[in-house]
């Protein structure tokens, strides 16, 4: 097998074949892709958006023109105590508490005049406990954040001072494309098995099989269905949050970069294949390339089941997608209720 450093040294891009990864050296494999696909400086030294810069007004107008039937589909999972989180790194499911209820109103103890009553509530939750975006301040590479900044200068105890998710609040409206890898690669069940690493060749073959409406290019938001969420709902959450899962191979880093997509989201907890593709300790290597180096915004825990059914029924896989994060100042991620309009 050709060594990663040798491939990079000869000017050849890193391999797209997972079987050619050096499974003993994640450091070198990650570094080769970080160097090959790094977008630092592409949009200036002060950039806060990374690949979201690929979405412009013309792209949004193009996306709006895709709406034919007006059919709207939410791509969000629920935000409640029945979610998949198991407490890893203090990620818990949402805690929803009522502050005022109908009982309070009936008993007249709310203090309002002329019979008025009301209900109020509060929710406490990690920002990435259910359907969410990973912001550009979420992952670092050897102490460097997006655009080469020092991680400690970007994210402090006051939050993300540079690339906080609030900067993307009015940006993420674009052409969405569903790639249903679950149905494409395993039509009998529509689900990929845990640990299945999706390759660049399989992404391309899915696009070809689904047809012209699945073409992927600059400014698009790609959503990838693996079927993992469908299985978890049928069989129980199990280790859906953090355990083994299908997902993108590290070798897709070049595809993510070269297609110039604006963002990508999956129906899994971690976006990339788990366990990761190494025989030695490794953790989310594609995150380490994609977020701080490519500048790619990543969505996780998206519910793509209804959308997949709608796309198959209509025979088209492109749509207007709006997925604005909450304007939470300095946050490195955000809950989101993405809406696909067909």
Q: Which two tokens stand for residue 287?
A: 């995150």
High-pLDDT (> 70) share of the chain, %: 97
Q: Which burial class, exposed, middle or buried, applies to 6 when counting CB atoms under 10 A from its CB (0-12, 13-18, 19+)?
A: exposed
What is the per-residue pLDDT for 89? 87
Supply φ then ψ for residue 247, to 5 degrees. Answer: 175, 180
| Cα 200 to Cα 31, 185, 197, 284, 328, distances in angstroms | 19, 13, 10, 18, 34
Across the range 98-122, mean pLDDT stands at 95
pLDDT digits (tens, 9 = 90+) for 262-316: 999 999 999 999 999 999 999 999 999 999 999 999 999 999 999 999 999 999 9
pLDDT digits (tens, 9 = 90+) for 302-338: 999 999 999 999 999 999 999 999 999 999 999 999 9
14 CB-near residues (< 8 Å, 6+ apart): 4, 7, 8, 29, 32, 33, 36, 251, 253, 254
pLDDT at 1 over 70: no
Contact predicate 60/66, CB 8 Å: no
pTM of the model: 0.94
The radius of gyration of the chain's CA atoms, rounded to the nearest angstrom, is 21
Domains for the chain: give ranges and CATH numbers.
19-85+126-341 (3.50.30.50), 92-124 (no CATH)
What is the per-residue pLDDT for 12? 87
Supply φ then ψ for residue 65, to 5 degrees. Answer: -70, -10
Across the range 57-71, mean pLDDT stands at 98
């Amino acid at each position: 097998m050709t060594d990663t450093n040798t491939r990079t040294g000869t000017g050849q891009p890193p391999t797209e074949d997972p079987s050619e990864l050096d499974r003993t050296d994640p450091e070198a494999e990650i570094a080769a892709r970080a160097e090959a696909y790094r977008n630092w400086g592409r949009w200036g030294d002060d950039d806060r958006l990374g690949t979201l810069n690929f979405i412009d007004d013309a792209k949004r107008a193009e996306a709006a023109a895709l709406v034919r039937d007006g059919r709207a589909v939410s791509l969000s999972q629920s935000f409640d105590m029945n979610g998949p989180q198991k407490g890893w790194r203090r990620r818990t499911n949402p805690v929803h508490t009522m502050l005022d209820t109908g009982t309070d109103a009936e008993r007249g103890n709310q203090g309002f005049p002329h019979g008025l009553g009301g209900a109020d509530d509060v929710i406490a939750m990690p920002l990435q406990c259910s359907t969410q975006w990973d912001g550009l301040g979420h992952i670092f590479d050897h102490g460097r954040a997006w655009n080469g900044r020092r991680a400690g200068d970007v994210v402090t105890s006051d939050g993300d001072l540079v690339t906080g998710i609030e900067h993307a609040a009015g940006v993420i409206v674009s052409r969405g494309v569903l790639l249903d890898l679950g149905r494409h690669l395993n039509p009998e069940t529509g689900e990929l098995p845990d640990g299945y690493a999706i390759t660049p060749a399989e992404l391309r073959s899915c696009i070809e099989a689904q047809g012209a409406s699945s073409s992927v290019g600059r400014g698009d938001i790609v959503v990838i269905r693996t079927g993992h969420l469908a299985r978890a709902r049928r069989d129980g959450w199990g280790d859906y949050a953090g355990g083994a899962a299908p997902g993108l191979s590290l070798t897709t880093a070049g595809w993510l970069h070269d297609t110039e997509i604006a963002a990508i989201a999956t129906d899994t907890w971690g976006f990339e294949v788990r366990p990761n593709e190494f025989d030695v300790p490794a953790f989310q290597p594609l995150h380490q390339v994609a977020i701080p180096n490519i500048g790619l915004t990543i969505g996780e825990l998206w519910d793509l089941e209804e959308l997949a059914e709608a796309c198959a029924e209509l025979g088209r896989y492109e749509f207007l997608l709006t997925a604005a994060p909450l304007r939470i100042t300095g946050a490195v991620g955000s809950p989101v209720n993405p809406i696909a309009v067909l």
